[in-house]
Amino acid sequence: MATITIVEDDSFMREELTDILLKAGYNVIAISDFQDVVTPIVANPPDLVLLDINLPGLSGFDICRSLKSKGIRPILILTSRDKLQDELHGLQLGADDYLTKPCNRDRLLARIQNLLRRFEGQPDLLEGSNFTLDPNTFTLYKGDQSLLLSANEGKILKALVQHKSEMVSKSTLSEHLWGTNQYIDENALQVNITRLRKTLRKLDLDDQIETIRGQGYRLRG
């Protein structure tokens, strides 16, 4: 069974987490000395690290990246601040998922299960019918060629690929581009579609995006 290391300074929280995980059948190592968190973890690499980002006097973010640079993954971040910013920063690199405290038991276990499953082999490439998209860097691949999409192109194509072969409404695409209900001229979307099509053509990807009149767009394949 998988081993999970807990890094959490609040002793009550730490024991509760330990209890939950033990009962769920995981091996648990709880760190209680915060002088040097990284080396003991590296010395005995677990299958997952549960990391409180708010440690007294320490930067959880630095610990997170330090662990990752040593190959320790996945890392699930615990945070009491429920500000979106921090979560994004945590995910931006190093962390693989986050959770806000106080956390529901089932939710916690679900996330952990998810990460463990996912990290038996890590994917994170989206496959179209004729191409592959890295949704993080917006790099487009086909055969031995590759291409960096612009932000707008990437957002559109990502949305389309995620709804593989299903129609994506214009308003949905607008949200992906400019956020919810930030209304921009509808033509702006059209222009960006045109530009994406043009870019796709550079890799001989013609006729990938089908337009559904009055509704939205759809990826062919």
* The one segment of 104-112, 134-142, 170-178, 204-212 that binds a second copy by CB under 8 A: 134-142
CB of 179 to DNA, least distance (A): 11
Task: Output the CA torsion sign for 162, 164, 166, 170.
Answer: positive
The whole-angstrom separation of Cα 22 and Cα 174 is 45
Amino acid making up residue 167: M
The whole-angstrom separation of Cα 152 and Cα 165 is 20
CB of 154 to DNA, least distance (A): 8
- Letters for 111-130 (x = contact with a second copy by CB under 8 A, - = none) are ---------xxxxxxxx---
The whole-angstrom separation of Cα 106 and Cα 15 is 17
191 in contact with DNA (CB under 7 A): yes
130 in contact with DNA (CB under 7 A): no
Which residue has 């949305």 as its token pair?
159
- Letters for 154-183 (x = contact with DNA by CB under 7 A, - = none) are ----------------x------xx-----
- CB atoms near residue 108 (< 10 Å): 18
Helix (H) or strand (E) holding 104: none
Q: Give the closest residue to 157 by CA, choosing from 221, 85, 95, 90.
A: 221
For the chain, the farthest-separated pair of C-alpha atoms sits apart, in whole angstroms, at: 62
57 in contact with a second copy (CB under 8 A): no
CB of 20 to a second copy, least distance (A): 26
Please identify, using beta-carbon distances, which residue of 121 and 179 lies nearer to DNA: 179
Which residues would be at the binding site for a second copy (CB under 8 A)?
45, 53, 59, 61-62, 65-66, 68-73, 86, 89-90, 92-94, 120-127, 132, 134, 137, 139, 141-146
Which residues would be at the binding site for DNA (CB under 7 A)?
148, 150-153, 170, 177-178, 184-188, 190-195, 197-198, 211, 213-215
